[in-house]
């Protein structure tokens, strides 16, 4: 990516959308909408000083909503270009309120609230579509209760939890524990406020609220309005601190997730959704289990699957190494359902097809290996490009011309036309570039000849 950013023959138009494509192979005219970042790309140094004091905190989509970001943000730390962007949906200043804190913080004077989106035209000989994929929505498989049981996460969410730059700094904190910790934080703020209120009564009457309340309950102070108020505020205070103490006690027992279950083929090889194998998920589950074990040597992982598809040179050895060195158990069986047990622990119900028995097993965290689904923007872009999509919703190519779309001069590579891993996507990108060059060369020859 860095090389692309620096390459003299590559112009990177990030935060932009293709709006219209006219012409034909060798002579396309593309209309591109360059969205307003409200930050000058040429001035922004990517230092991040602008976001330090931004008061607007929103869910961070890059971290799949598991963390938070500011209204001014960079998509992720290593992104190219490293420019920051103001999110117009949330920014106070752009929504008619007074703010501008980021502008004061930016030493490079890069913030520009008056920036407007621009429409630009490009003339190109050939087009390569590399828009990738989306993950299958596991909530569609109701029996896995994704979105209902907090400790059932997708593999991509799990990658963010494992990442040192992720929302937990690489600690395998369980989502249910994090939710309780957030609740404790909220309740502590409320408790501090209500403590202030009852503190005033205590100061005034030289007595603790607990002592006063015992006497109040015995029937003293009847008709005393001031003390009625105190009793009321004290009851409100107890309604905050009692659950707070219970949650704090519960939180004392929190520790990193150690018993992990990976469920394969979630949406893949499933006639209800995508009948094909997504190809990469068996290997990414093994990879994630190995990394989790590197984080904590007590971590154990069970990978539930119909079979493990370790297709590729060295992949089978990697799988065996995971089993031998990283506490990974491969359980042959399709998971029927996940239910929630005590302490928010997911319980996996599955048929062990080796022993021909239905079993239940409790885990700290369940990770779903979701299918490779078509990118949600496929239909719209297919219409703009006037290219066909296949019955699964990926861009259509033919078996003997695997990079060619239905429109001459437009090629496709990577997961935009079907599941594949990174090395395969990179190799396809090179091949697609070579196919595109053929069109460029032919059109140049034609131009010179005419
Ligand atoms: C949890 C998980 C872990 C994985 N781990 C591995 C691994 O360890 N090794 C491995 O080899 N593979 C792994 N994979 C597979 C890997 O993610 C894919 O092989 C790879 O991302 C495919 O690359 P791509 O460029 O085709 O698509 P993508 O990575 O999806 O990139 C497509 C890009 O296009 C952009 N885009 C989309 N629409 C538009 C548009 N209309 N205009 C402009 N831009 C657009 C997207 O924002 C995105 O940046 C993993 C997959 C998952 C789900
Ligand atoms: S104007 Fe305020 S809310 Fe908007 S990005 Fe800047 S600091 Fe954040
Ligand atoms: S790679 Fe493994 S998990 Fe993914 S669809 Fe194929 S068999 Fe299922």
| pLDDT block averages, 10 residues each, the chain of length 450 | 85 96 97 97 94 96 93 91 95 97 97 97 97 98 98 98 94 96 97 97 96 95 94 97 97 96 98 97 98 97 96 96 97 95 97 92 98 97 98 95 96 98 97 96 84
Cα 306 to ligand 1 centroid, rounded to whole Å: 25
Among protein residues, the one with the nearest Cα to ligand 3's atom 2 is 282
355 and 280 in a single domain? The answer is: yes
Instruction: Tell me if 22 is assigned to some domain.
Output: no
Q: How far is the CA of 133 from the centre of ligand 1 (A)?
A: 6
Give bridge partners of residue 53 from the DSSP assignment.
none
Proximal ligand: closest to the CA of 380: 1
Are residues 245 and 281 located together in one domain of the fold?
A: no
SS3 at position 39: strand
For ligand 2, say whether the CB of 141 is within 6 Å of any of its atoms.
no
Q: Give me the helix-helix angle, 209-217 and 225-252, nearest 10°.
A: 120
Q: How far is CA 381 from CA 57, 274, 395, in A?
A: 32, 22, 10
Q: Are residues 381 and 402 in the same domain?
A: yes
Examine the domain organization and report whether 165 and 196 are in the same domain. no
* Domain span including residue 400: 375-449
Q: Which of 415, 416, 419 most suits a substitution to test ligand 1, by most atoms within 8 Å of the C-beta?
A: 415
Residue whose CB lies within 8 A of the most ligand 2 atoms, among 55, 58, 92, for a mutation test:
92
Buried b (16+ CB within 10 A) or exposed e, 253-285: eeebbbbbbbbbbbbbbeeebbeebbbbbbbbb
In a domain, 31, yes or no: no
Nearest atom of ligand 1 to the alpha carbon of 372: 53
Identify the H or E element spanning 17.
strand 16-24
> 247 and 262: one domain?
no
- What DSSP letter does each residue of 160-172 carry, written as one string? HHH-TTSTTTT--
Q: Is 337 left (phi over 0), alpha (psi -120 to 50) or beta?
A: beta
Chain length of the chain: 450
Say if residue 276 is in the same domain as residue 361.
yes
Bridge partners of 127? 410
Q: Write the CATH number for 76.
A: 3.30.70
Do 161 and 277 belong together in one domain?
yes
The residue out of 329, 358, 373 marking a domain boundary is 373
CB atoms within 10 A of CB 42: 8
Q: What does the pLDDT read at residue 220? A: 93
Q: What are residue 260's DSSP bridge partners? A: 301, 365
Residues 266 and 355 in one domain: yes
3-state secondary structure 272-318: CCECCCCCCHHHHHHHHHHHHHHHCCCCEEEEEECCCCCCCCCHHHH
Query: Which residue has a Cα nearest atom 4 of ligand 3?
Result: 281
Q: Clarify whether residues 148 and 288 are in a common domain.
A: yes
**Per-residue confidence (pLDDT) for residue 302, from 0 to 100:** 98
Of ligand 2's listed atoms, the one at least distance from the Cα of 93 is 1
Give residue ranges with CB within 6 A of ligand 1.
Answer: 17, 130-133, 135, 155-156, 159, 280, 284, 287, 375, 377, 381, 414-416, 420-423, 425
CA–CA dist 211, 306 (Å, integer):
64
9 within a domain of the structure (yes/no): no
Q: Tokens 């524990």 correspond to what residue?
A: 177
- Residues 189, 335 within the same domain: no
CATH number, domain with residue 286: 3.50.50.60
In terms of domains, do 261 and 363 share one?
Answer: yes
The packing angle between helices 315-325 and 281-295, to 10°, is 30
Q: What confidence score (pLDDT) does residue 4 get?
A: 83
Write out pLDDT tens, residues 141-197: 999 999 999 999 999 999 999 999 999 999 999 999 999 999 999 999 999 999 999
Supply the pLDDT for residue 79.
Answer: 87
Q: Which residues contact 141 (CB under 8 A, 6 or more apart)?
A: 266, 267
Burial 350-379 (b: 16+ CB within 10 A, else e): beeeeeeeeeebebbbbbbbbbbbbbeebe
The total of structural domains in the chain comes to 4
């Amino acid at each position: 990516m860095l090389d692309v950013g620096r390459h003299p023959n590559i112009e990177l138009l990030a935060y932009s959308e293709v709006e219209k494509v006219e012409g034909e192979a060798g002579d396309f005219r593309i209309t591109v909408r360059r969205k307003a970042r409200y930050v000058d790309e040429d001035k922004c140094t990517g230092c991040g000083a602008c976001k330090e004091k931004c008061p607007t905190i929103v869910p961070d989509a890059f971290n799949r909503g598991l963390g938070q970001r500011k209204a001014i943000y960079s998509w992720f730390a290593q992104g190219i270009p490293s420019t920051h962007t103001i999110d117009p949906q949330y920014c106070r200043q752009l929504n008619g309120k007074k703010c501008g804190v980021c502008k004061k913080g930016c030493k490079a004077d890069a913030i520009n609230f008056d920036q407007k989106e621009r429409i630009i035209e490009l003339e190109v000989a050939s087009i390569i579509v590399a828009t990738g994929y989306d993950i299958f929505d596991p909530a569609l498989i109701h029996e896995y209760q994704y979105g209902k049981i907090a400790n059932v996460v997708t593999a991509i969410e799990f990658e963010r939890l494992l990442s040192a730059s992720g929302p937990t700094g690489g600690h395998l904190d369980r989502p249910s524990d994090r939710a309780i910790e957030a609740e404790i934080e909220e309740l502590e703020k409320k408790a501090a406020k209500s403590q202030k209120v009852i503190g005033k009564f205590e100061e005034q009457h030289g007595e603790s609220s607990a002592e006063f309340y015992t006497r109040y309950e015995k029937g003293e102070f009847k008709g005393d309005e001031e003390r009625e108020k105190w009793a009321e505020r004290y009851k409100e205070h107890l309604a905050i601190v009692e659950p707070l103490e219970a949650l704090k006690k519960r939180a004392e027992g929190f520790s990193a997730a150690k018993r992990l279950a990976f469920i394969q083929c979630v949406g893949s090889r499933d006639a209800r959704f995508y009948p094909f194998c997504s190809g990469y998920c068996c290997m990414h589950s093994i990879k994630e289990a190995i990394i989790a074990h590197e984080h904590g040597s007590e971590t154990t992982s069970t990978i539930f699957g119909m079979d493990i598809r370790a297709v590729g040179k060295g992949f089978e050895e990697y799988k065996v190494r995971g089993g031998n060195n990283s506490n990974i158990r491969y359980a042959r069986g399709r998971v029927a359902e996940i239910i929630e047990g005590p302490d928010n622990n997911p319980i996996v119900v599955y048929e062990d097809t080796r022993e021909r028995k239905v079993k239940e097993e409790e885990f700290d965290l369940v990770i779903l290996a979701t299918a490779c689904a078509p990118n949600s923007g496929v239909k719209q872009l297919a219409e703009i490009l006037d290219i066909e999509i296949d019955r699964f919703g990926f861009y259509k190519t033919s078996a003997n011309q695997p990079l060619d779309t239905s429109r001459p001069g437009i090629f496709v590579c990577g997961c935009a036309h079907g599941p594949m891993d990174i090395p395969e996507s990179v190799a396809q990108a090179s091949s697609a570039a070579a196919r595109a060059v053929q069109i460029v060369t032919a059109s140049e020859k034609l131009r010179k000849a005419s």
